[in-house]
Amino acid sequence: MGRSNRAGRTADRGRATAEDTPAATGPGGRTHAQGPLSRAVDSGLAELRPDRDRPAAWSLLIDGAPQSLVDLADPTHLGFEYQRRLGHLVDLVAPPGRPLTVLHLGGGALTLARYVAATRPRSRQQVAEIDTALTDLVRTELPLERGWQVKVRGADARSVLERTPEGAVDLVIADVFSGARVPAHCTTVEFTALAARALAPGGWYAVNIADGSALPFARSQVATLGAVFPELCLVADPAVLRGKRFGNLVLAAAHSPLPVAELGRRVASDAALGRVEHGRALADFAAGATPATDAAATPSPAPPPGVFR
């Protein structure tokens, strides 16, 4: 998927007891002078590598696969394509600056939680990240700013979603990966219905997935979200949509119309190519695809060998 196109992830290696922990440890954080860091976490070998272009930025890799980019000096910087597209949705879900209540399914280095906190002060956020060792690493080396209302729950994404009260959040962001694959139980109509239940009126559901070649998983996910939500759109690199390479696709869904035109303008302004599909074009894209259900779902496809080199 490349440096700026790797899907974020939540390790999903069994159910865990939910436990709220504060995500921040105060100001400061790792400096480039300290060099890279490698540490075993629950989901594999985590590496923090200094970014050559930004003096306070770090890339998080798990088993060599890029996961997140965090700039401690500028939490509004979103270095990966899929994160910028999710950032556009954060910007558009409500008027600028208005605080949000956000549920992040998948934590990684907490890049999107940082973005929400920086662009929408007083927002309340909960993050489901089952890899507690990774959360500890991030809290220590890449701490959040004091005062940001972010809690990390060490639990499986679906178990947290099941416990979320009805109508409790403005935005659910699902970025759930086990290794490099979306786990089956987080891909289904039943999972999507839980996300819809958690949303307040006017709320949105945003999903990051990865697929390639004929895009069977992506087409099924469009059908799956469409079985629950009447409004949806998809954002991806045109080469990914043509099946030319494996990469990320971001889906947005809601019960009221999405600002597709404005989203398209923002995507077009990015340095990386992107296209927004919706309406008839998206229906044609998913034509013949079957929604995934708990009874028959499978994980997303594994990336081709060498995709992260």
Contact 220, 300 (CB under 8 A): no
pLDDT at 11: 36
pLDDT, one tens digit per residue, over 226-240 is: 999 999 999 999 999
Contact 243, 215 (CB under 8 A): yes
pLDDT, one tens digit per residue, over 80-124 is: 999 999 999 999 999 999 999 999 999 999 999 999 999 999 999
d(CA 294, CA 169): 24
pTM: 0.91
pLDDT at 180: 84
- State what percent of residues in the chain have pLDDT above 90: 86
The token duo for 225 is: 């979200």
Question: How does DSSP assign 243-297, residue by residue?
Answer: TSS-EEEEEEEESS---HHHHHHHHHHSSS--EEEEHHHHHHHTTT-----TTT-
Contact 292, 189 (CB under 8 A): yes
pLDDT, one tens digit per residue, over 66-76 is: 889 999 999 99
The token duo for 222 is: 């469009």
For the chain, which domains are there?
Answer: 30-285 (3.40.50.150)
